[in-house]
Chain A
Amino acid sequence: MLTLLLILLPIAAGVITLLAGERMAKQLALVGGLASLGVAVFTWLQFDPAAGSQFGFKYAWVASGGISFAAGIDGISLLLVLLTTFLTPLIILSAFKNEYKNPAAFYSLILFMEAALIGVFTATDAFLFYLFFEAALIPVYFLAAIWGGENRIRVTFKFFIYTIFGSLFMFVALVYLYYQTPGTHTSEIAAFYQLQLSPAAQGYVFWAFFIAFAIKMPLFPFHTWQPDTYTESPTAATMLLSGIMLKMGVYGLIRLLLPIVPMGMEQWGFLAMILSVIGIIYGSIIAIQQSDMKTLIAYSSFAHVGLMAAGVFSSSLNGLQGALIQMLAHGINVIGLFFIVDIIYSRTKTRYLDQLGGITQSTPHLSVYFMVLLLGSVALPLTNGFVGEFLLLSSVFQYKGWLGAVAGLTIILGSVYMLRLFQKSMFGPKSKWVEGFQDLTASERAVLLPLVIMVFWIGIYPSTFLKITEPAVNQLLQLVNN
């Protein structure tokens, strides 16, 4: 029942926020977000990694069709639920300093989004998964299109159509799989694992899933919606998109694609791997060229997710564990970085690197936080990025040595664009835009401090999190290898 509580709590908090009106919206939303975090941590304490799916519930939904409203939490789900509930209050808190018109709607949409994301990560019924997968789009679409930048309408529209286009293919695949289940049919994901599909059918299903998740993440060459959307959205929406929503795609690969169509993986996995690796290099090279800080981080995110996908496609323990821990790390780093960009933008009114410079001179705190998150992102040892990237690269290397070598360039390219970002904005002579730049306020520190603590926690002692997922990943790999 804890799962149901986890899904319903943000919805309830969102409705209360919406009804409470303008003045209390922020505070109520924050309380709602923290309450969800509390429940998630409680779940974590109760959780037994070896016991498979727990805290579940199951209600008949379309009874005659064997479709049920069912969810539960296993190790993989728990990690992502923790990520979601940890980041959501921070996202809400990070929006405090900006004045938004109609704040009640703004904050309640963030909470609705949280509910949908938790739903995606916990659903054990394929159609419930799909429902949440699509439903998550609606709040973030409105967030981006109402409170976004100048080109918001055109850009978010492209984003919406693009991602729906992908998920509809997954829908067809799910309907197909549903009809392959024996008897009166069932749409439990676990039942889909047992299907014995022909190799040709597996190929089709593979591509249907691949397109859906590749657009969501996004992978090369389906990424064209991403930089514009990240840049034009309000920072809170960008954080939701990059910090959490992107993980829906990786999660989908792990939960559905790998175990349902292992033979499809054999046929097409190599091609998918190549696309992922191209994405890593391509994203990094474009990131080096960017002068808009937000776009730069968007491309860095695109590069990182390519590596996660490559790890998943290697279908090895290291690859999957690496992808999972990297999802956690990436969520933390990218949200921190987007927040810092937002801080800089709100004070200087510019995001362009050639107009910035010399911020360090008056801002010791900001510089330290920025540096730590940035080093986490370039995978310095003892920071969170290192663990994931190490596992991922080793898995790609085992898969194909030369691919590992190419993917390994990400470490070098990553440091190039990230250090360039830091150098151009923080060091150098003080530009006229950064006159009178104030250091962090208390509420900004309240967002950044937990993030930085997590950077070190995961970097120094990753097994807290790795051991949550390990049994579930092993179980999954058994399915794949059979």
Chain B
Amino acid sequence: MYPIILLSVFGVLTLFLGFSKSKNILLPSTLLFLAIALGSNFVDWGKGPFLYFYDMLRVDNLTLAFNGIVLISAFMIVAISGGFQDNADAEPAEYYGLMLFSLVGAIMMIGFDHLIMLFIGVEILSVAMYVLTGSNKRNLRSNEAALKYFLMGAFATGFMLFGMTLLYGATGSFQLVAIQGFASNMSAASQSYIFYAGLLLLLIGMLFKVSAAPFHFWTPDVYEGAPTIFTTFMSTIVKTAGFAALFRLLNHSFAIYNFWWIVIAVIAVLTLLVGNIGATSQNSFKRMLAYSGISHAGYLLIALTALSKPTQNAIIFYSLAYSLSTIAAFGVLMLVSKEKTIEGQPNERYEAFNGLARQNPLLAFVLAVAMLSLAGIPLTAGFWGKFFIFTSAAERGIMWITVIAVLMSTVGIYYYFRVIISSYFKEGDTVKIRVAPFYQIILVLATFLTILFGLAPGIFEKLI
């Protein structure tokens, strides 16, 4: 709960800091705010569960772990967001303020114990993201992306609200506990179809937010159009928060597992197919990462489909591994695409990475580790992420879905390795790519953690 209060206050503070002449103060102050929020998050560690705000928000270790991932990701993203300084049109104070506010939404989504809290969280997060997507005001693609995201998002919100209404109608409460009780008392004779319909509609709304197929159509365009720094934000924080919320929701609907598991299973398979096959045909690295984000939603959905004992850890570990690699990948993309432009626009195609290993060996290494981790190659965190996902499916005895996932992993190697091939094996020009020291530290940190968790996943286990 502390992070919610602190971040709200800090968000307002940041807006005021925007009045100061010096824009340079914003980045360090935001980092400081995030560090404080991160510290306050773990005050309650191991003490919970607590219920706050009239039992609308639950704080237990699960919540805190997800909060931790979200806040660490946010810290790293803000730390590499120095690019605004060069842009005369940019309004950094507003961006940082919105990021802080959106984190409040994310934390509400993670800890919700009441459907209204979920809705408020989703909306706070989404509205901030709509604005940030369109923050590159003079860029047509950014505008288009924002509009698309907003229109589609508004629809999804509609579905979600409708679903909540139906759930309320069926159970008479917004409380998750009450819903869980209703579900477990439901027998074959007293099935409530309104309840089923409500749950499905609510799931559709949530699946839209985590860009699962067939609700993924907005993802490539929005990810590509948004300024890269906010794409990073979207693909890590929105996804982690979304899956935390989905996990909580489905965990409480466990009594009717037989009803929804096949729905999620089909969506998981579809998401894997769409994400992986879509990614192979991209020429833009950024767009490929958008499809890769879809495919990772598919892997996470496999863990949800199984909903067995290892699922919780699988989702936490996978989100962390995915966030670290994604931040590293986008971080390198931002540096490289800024140096190599086509007609004044950043070059985000694979060719931009040609010869990167010569131009800047460190960046090439960071990128290679990120790609290996996303592809799930051993010795990286991504491998153990997939491992825990597969074990949760195996625990439930759904082996067929892991076979599909494995096939899709092979496809994944194809597109992740294209950028490794570009940077290591192809000749490029001899542009020097400069990296600010702090930026470099964040990238190295992400890489280090990826390899550390890859070598010793037990460390992570001890933390939880």
Contact = CB atoms under 8 A, between A and B. Distances in A.
Interface of A: 60-65, 127, 130-131, 134-135, 138, 142, 145-146, 152-153, 157, 160-161, 164-165, 168-169, 171-172, 175-176, 178-179
Contacts of B457: 61-62
9 smallest beta-carbon distances between A and B, as pairs: A168-B406, A131-B378, A179-B394, A165-B410, A134-B378, A175-B394, A175-B390, A172-B402, A153-B425
A130 B461 contact: no
A62 B410 contact: no
Given A131-B378, A134-B377, A172-B406, A60 B458 contact: yes
| Consensus secondary structure, chain A interface | helix
A142 B417 CA distance: 12
Given A61-B457, A161-B410, A172-B403, 16 more contacts: A61-B456, A61-B458, A127-B387, A131-B379, A131-B383, A138-B379, A153-B421, A160-B413, A161-B417, A168-B406, A172-B390, A172-B406, A175-B402, A176-B399, A179-B394, A179-B397
Contacts of B390: 171-172, 175
Nearest to A142: B424
B409 interface: yes
B305 interface: no
Contacts of A65: 310, 391
Contact of B421 (A127, A145, A164): A145
A62 B413 contact: no
A176 B410 contact: no
Contacts of B310: 65
A176 B390 CA distance: 9
Contacts of B377: 134, 138, 164
A157 B421 contact: yes
Nearest to B372: A138
B316 to A, nearest CB: 14
A415 B410 CA distance: 39
B89 interface: no
A347 B410 CA distance: 41
B359 to A, nearest CB: 15
A157 B424 CA distance: 13
Contacts of B372: 138
Contacts of B456: 61
Interface string B374-400: 000111000110010011001101010
A164 B310 CA distance: 25
Contacts of B421: 145, 153, 157
B259 interface: no
Contact of B414 (A142, A153, A161): A161
Given A145-B424, A152-B425, A135 B379 contact: yes
Nearest to B460: A62
Contacts of A172: 390, 399, 402-403, 406
A64 B410 contact: no
B378 A179 contact: no
Contacts of B403: 169, 172
B425 A146 contact: yes
Given A61-B457, A61-B458, A169 B394 contact: no
Contacts of A131: 378-379, 383
B391 A160 contact: no
Given A62-B458, A152-B425, A160-B417, A135 B394 contact: no
Contacts of B395: 179
A168 B409 contact: yes
Contacts of A127: 387
A172 B417 CA distance: 22
A161 B387 CA distance: 19
Contacts of A179: 391, 394-395, 397
Nearest to B393: A175
Interface in B307-366: 310
A134 B406 CA distance: 14
Nearest to A177: B394
23 contacts: A61-B457, A62-B384, A62-B457, A62-B458, A63-B458, A130-B378, A134-B377, A138-B377, A138-B379, A152-B425, A153-B425, A157-B421, A161-B414, A168-B407, A169-B403, A171-B390, A172-B390, A172-B403, A175-B390, A175-B402, A176-B394, A178-B391, A179-B391
Interface in B393-439: 394-395, 397, 399, 402-403, 406-407, 409-410, 413-414, 417, 421, 424-426
B394 A168 contact: no
B424 A175 contact: no
B425 A62 contact: no
Interface in B81-111: none
Contacts of A60: 458
A441 B424 CA distance: 34
Contacts of B391: 65, 175, 178-179
A164 B394 contact: no
Nearest to B421: A153
Interface string B115-133: 0000000000000000000
A319 B407 CA distance: 34
Nearest to A154: B421
A176 B402 CA distance: 10
A134 B390 CA distance: 17
A459 B384 CA distance: 45
